[in-house]
Amino acid sequence: MSTDTVSARSRALETTAWGEKFHFVQPRNIVFWIYLWLCAAGLVKGWQEFSPFAGYFGRALLIAGVVGAVSVAVWTWWFRHIDRYERQPLALVITAFVWGATAAPFAIALTANGAMGSLYAKFFGQVFAQDWQAGLTAPFVEETAKGVGIVVLLALAPRLVRTPVDGLLLGAFLGLGFQTSEDLLYSIAGATQGFGAHQTDGLIESIGTRIFSDIVSHPLFTALFSAGVIYLIGTPAQPRRIVRGLALMLAPVVVHGIWDSMVALSGGSQVLAGVLLIGDFVFAFTALWIAFVWAHPRESQFVREVLAPEVESGVLTDEEITAAGGWRQRRHYVKAGTDRADRRRRGHILAAALDLLADLAAGKGHDTPDVIAAREEITRIRGGALHSDTHPSTAP
């Protein structure tokens, strides 16, 4: 391994802080106490919201809770699946989720939403407030309440929250927490319609509506907003990009505002409401796609710098570390296999390369037992094909 590539690896690991551990308890950090205070306040407020329904609507609460737990499990699996390189520590992910589920909705958003709704009614009348209150309140209040969470995480784990991808993934968990609490509130609201005479029907209808709307909801909104905060503030791993940051922070506010104003904007026309719904979905997913496209080159470069010495030593090929750095490159590399077995082998090699990346990050680039085992695993998967591989750097 050349000195240049080893130095580049060390710089990449230092810049990204991949492999760093998160310590939640930080008694000397004032933000740690603010976090505890607001989450505790949110927990108490949430209990006050739900506890009156624990008796007669206990069954509805239980069903809504089970559905919410399944939803959290599914979304968590997906978010962890797309966190390809060095996954965020589980403790930091839970810290984000708890803020989103307690402090953001109950300690901040509920109070602020109510106050702004009262102001709209007072200054513009009840009709205006009924039509536009949701669209002109929730996008600003809720995106800010959740967005404060990524700033809190930056203060609690400054070395772990550095790239726009960190913002996207941690923001998704902030939003998932908020979405879970909001879904419970809507489920109870559905069950209590008609004084609870048909609570099961109302509950099922509410859950169905929320499952559909959750596709484009708070995890996506907060992922975009949090990535925008990273660009706006700038970190050692991401130079400040003010315009890009403001664009990503504004996008979820627009999508959220259109969603909540759908009835008022369409004027009761189902056709226009359908057009707005589709347009809002397309815009939201386009914004998310752009966010990943913007974040990918820098993230891919870090992957290349960490794995480059492995090319020199013959463990990996240049083509493989390129494929490991992006979904599109991975797809092209795997499809280039000569047959099904070769395509499977290529996929396993890339998975093992990412495992090696994680072990190198945990070992700060040193040859730890895990790193040595990861290299041996790549060699084992490559097997006899090593000598017939077309890339010269794989030759023994």
User: 269, 240 in Cβ contact below 8 A?
Assistant: no
Residue 337: CB partners within 8 Å, gap ≥ 6? 343, 344, 345, 346
Per residue in 231-247, pLDDT (tens digit) is: 999 988 889 999 999 99
Question: What distance in Å separates the CA atoms of residue 219 and residue 169, rounded to the nearest whole number?
Answer: 9
User: 218, 144 in Cβ contact below 8 A?
Assistant: no
Question: What distance in Å separates the CA atoms of residue 269 and residue 391, rounded to the nearest whole number?
Answer: 61
Question: What distance in Å separates the CA atoms of residue 21 and residue 119, rounded to the nearest whole number?
Answer: 45
Query: Which one-letter DSSP state was computed for residue 366?
Result: S
User: 350, 324 in Cβ contact below 8 A?
Assistant: yes
Per residue in 13-40, pLDDT (tens digit) is: 888 888 888 999 999 999 999 999 999 9
**pLDDT at residue 252, rounded to an integer:** 93
Query: Would the pLDDT of 274 be above 80?
Result: yes
Query: Would the pLDDT of 198 be above 70?
Result: no
Indicate the pLDDT class of residue 195, thresholds 50, 70 and 90.
Answer: low
Among 38-47, 240-249, 256-265, the range scoring the smallest mean pLDDT is 256-265
Question: What distance in Å separates the CA atoms of residue 339 and residue 353, rounded to the nearest whole number?
Answer: 21
User: Which of 16-20, 103-107, 298-302 is the most confident on average?
Assistant: 103-107
* pLDDT (average), residues 153-171: 91
User: 227, 167 in Cβ contact below 8 A?
Assistant: yes
Helix (H) or strand (E) holding 13: helix 3-16
Indicate the pLDDT class of residue 250, thresholds 50, 70 and 90.
Answer: very high
Per residue in 55-98, pLDDT (tens digit) is: 777 777 787 788 888 888 888 888 887 777 777 889 999 999 99
Q: Exposed, middle or buried by CB within 10 Å (0-12, 13-18, 19+), for 217?
A: buried
Query: What pTM was estimated for this model as a whole?
Result: 0.85
Q: How far from chain centre, in Å, is Cα 61?
A: 27
Among 100-109, 202-211, 312-321, the range scoring the smallest mean pLDDT is 202-211
Query: Would the pLDDT of 390 be above 70?
Result: no
**Sign of the C-alpha dihedral, residues 370, 371, 373, 374?**
positive
Among 233, 90, 245, 248, smallest CA distance to 170 is for: 90
